[in-house]
Amino acid sequence: MQLTAPAAGRTHTSPRPRDADGMAVASFILGLLGLLVLNVFLGPIAIALAAAALWRGTARRGRAYLGLTLGVADLAVLLTAMELSHTVSWSL
């Protein structure tokens, strides 16, 4: 019985679900944190991570959708606070 090694230069091309699951959880956490601080940065990052997790086929679709929703909510909170304070930024 002879074991053969994989051909040189071959890489595993399909995305790993574990990476996508981590992206879904990260998007949820960053979206939640973005409601309080740095929503101008954390909102778009949460949206991008959630979209990437969904595109890669995460098993945690609920968390990815929550991260996507919270990322959009971060930007909505920022726009609302900017409109109410008549400034380009806001603070607590």
pLDDT in tens, 35-64: 988 888 999 999 999 999 999 999 989 999
Categorize the per-residue pLDDT at 14 as very low, low, confident or very high, splitting at 50, 70 and 90. Answer: low
Give a yes or no: residue 92 inside a domain: no
Confidence (pTM): 0.76
Give a yes or no: residue 39 inside a domain: yes
Report how many domains make up the chain.
1
Exposure of 70 by Cβ count < 10 A (0-12 exposed, 13-18 middle, 19+ buried)? buried
Give a yes or no: residue 10 inside a domain: no
Give a yes or no: residue 5 inside a domain: no
Rounded Cα distance between 86 and 67, Å, is: 28
Rounded Cα distance between 76 and 30, Å, is: 15
Give a yes or no: residue 47 inside a domain: yes
pLDDT value at 6 more than 80: no
Give a yes or no: residue 33 inside a domain: yes
What integer pLDDT is reported at residue 10 of this predicted model? Answer: 55
What integer pLDDT is reported at residue 86 of this predicted model? Answer: 82
Give a yes or no: residue 11 inside a domain: no
Domain of 53? Answer: 17-85
